[in-house]
């Protein structure tokens, strides 16, 4: 993420003194305007960032729309939650100057409007209704906190390597379908910096979708429909699974549930957890039968892995035995309830929704919102993503080394 057009100088913190540190000395952990100002001054990739959002409309190519990027909305959230909507910029240098000057704690990207969003008040007063969004990436937002009813290692915005694979599965499912079922090719996945992932579908065809078309695509992916208090959160209608769902189940969800999630979340390790799964079985007699079989303390010689695997195998055998008509689909519904992507549907349905820009710094964690390679998303570790303090420490170390070499 470093820039080659500026020399690396020793960092100044709180306007007081330059830090001369050894390579092993880290900048104190934290997130503040001083740290952020150095990041925006030295590391933020303005050129590539602006080039992405131009989509070729940069004034350098014949026939390009030179007004295109100037009609894109940027939103800045400043310190103390000061909120600046409808910012617009005609060039990368203009964007860079504004970010360096305002030092936003958060940058959101909105749609491309029919006219310059910075002049939206004047257009609104004209009464002609000409200020409307005309283009926007198809976006998806997935947060790990929406899985709190099926993960037991963390809750809320907390995340660890036991529950993060739920995000990995979401990336695999959506990325494959967006490419294979909808024919999209230009898809950017970004770590949100704290508890989830964002997806930007950037194909020209995707950017021009209407709100109705976006809603239709979002509904295509909608399987998880249960609210917080709903027992049955997934309903797989029809005699056979939709081909997309069948492929997702066979290629990804079933093996992930049985090989990883059962043990990592200890899904059958307690009475309450067992009951939560039994509540997904519509036949109370069958659920009661399984409950009775699982009663009592397990022998100490049986490992946690064996208990979870044994109880799941027993449940599958009971439901798929053929003795209980209409319950075979229930096994799939349980797997989908625990593993299928849980989307923020409203984010995807409306063209004018704002979404945090890549390469922002999350103020709660200090981590960079970095891209994720969907082809290697299993290797992505959110706990290893660089923090603002780490990056500044590296800057200081490089500067110290340069100064040492120059003084010889």
Q: Which residues are catalytic?
A: 73, 141, 143
- Cα–Cα dist 161/163, whole Å: 6
CA dihedral 100→102→103→106, nearest 10 degrees, is -120
Phi, psi dihedrals of residue 377, rounded to the nearest 5°: -70, -20
Q: How many CB atoms lie within 10 A of CB 133?
A: 18
Nearest to 106 by CA among 15, 228, 193, 19: 193
- Cα–Cα dist 380/369, whole Å: 13
Q: Give the helix ranges, DSSP H, for 182-327.
A: 204-207, 211-220, 243-248, 254-256, 262-264, 271-278, 284-294, 304-319
- Cα–Cα dist 89/262, whole Å: 50
Tokens 């195998």, residue located: 313
CA dihedral 86→90→94→96, nearest 10 degrees, is 80
- Cα–Cα dist 313/198, whole Å: 35
Give rounded-to-5 percent helix, strand, coil for the chain.
45, 15, 40
Q: Which residues contact 340 (CB under 8 A, 6 or more apart)?
A: 173, 223, 224, 234, 248, 253
Give helix 33-42 / helix 388-406 axis angle, nearest 10°: 60
- Cα–Cα dist 261/151, whole Å: 9
Nearest to 246 by CA among 336, 160, 179: 336
Nearest to 187 by CA among 380, 382, 342, 377: 377
End-to-end CA distance of the chain: 29
CA dihedral 191→68→202→88, nearest 10 degrees, is 10
Q: State both tokens at 113.
A: 């409007």
């Amino acid at each position: 993420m470093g820039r080659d057009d500026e020399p690396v100088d020793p960092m100044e913190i709180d306007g007081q003194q330059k830090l001369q540190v050894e390579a092993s000395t880290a900048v104190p952990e934290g997130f503040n305007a001083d740290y952020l100002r150095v990041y925006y001054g030295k590391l933020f990739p303005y050129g590539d960032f602006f080039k992405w959002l131009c989509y070729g409309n940069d004034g350098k190519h014949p026939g390009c729309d030179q007004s295109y990027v100037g009609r894109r909305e940027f939103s800045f959230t400043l310190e103390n939650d000061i909120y600046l909507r409808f910012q617009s910029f005609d060039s990368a240098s203009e964007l860079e100057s504004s970010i360096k000057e305002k030092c936003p704690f958060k940058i959101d990207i909105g749609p491309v409007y029919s006219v310059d969003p910075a002049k939206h008040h004047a257009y609104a007063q004209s009464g002609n209704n000409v200020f409307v969004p005309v283009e926007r990436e198809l976006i998806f937002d997935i947060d790990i906190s929406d899985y709190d009813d099926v993960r037991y290692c963390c809750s809320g915005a907390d995340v660890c390597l036991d529950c993060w694979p739920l995000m990995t599965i979401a990336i695999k499912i959506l990325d494959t379908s967006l490419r294979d079922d909808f024919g999209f090719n230009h898809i950017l996945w970004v770590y949100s910096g704290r508890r989830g992932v964002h997806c930007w579908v950037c194909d020209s065809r995707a950017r021009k979708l209407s709100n109705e078309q976006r809603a239709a695509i979002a509904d295509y992916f909608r399987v998880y429909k249960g609210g917080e208090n709903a027992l049955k959160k997934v309903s797989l209608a029809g005699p056979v699974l939709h081909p997309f769902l069948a492929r997702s189940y066979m290629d990804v969800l079933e093996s992930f549930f049985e090989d990883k999630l059962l043990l990592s979340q200890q899904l059958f390790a307690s009475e309450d957890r067992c009951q939560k799964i039994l509540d997904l079985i519509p036949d109370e007699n069958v659920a009661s039968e399984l409950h009775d079989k699982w009663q009592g303390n397990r022998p100490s010689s049986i490992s946690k892995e064996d208990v979870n695997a044994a109880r799941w195998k027993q449940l599958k055998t009971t439901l798929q035995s053929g003795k209980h008509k209409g319950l075979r689909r229930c096994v799939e519904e349980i797997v989908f309830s625990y593993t299928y992507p849980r989307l923020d549907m409203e984010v995807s349905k409306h063209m004018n929704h704002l979404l945090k820009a890549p390469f922002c710094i999350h103020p709660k964690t200090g981590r960079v919102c970095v891209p994720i390679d969907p082809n290697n998303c299993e290797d992505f570790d959110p706990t290893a993503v660089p923090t603002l303090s780490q990056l500044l420490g590296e800057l200081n170390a490089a500067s110290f080394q340069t100064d040492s070499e120059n003084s010889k």
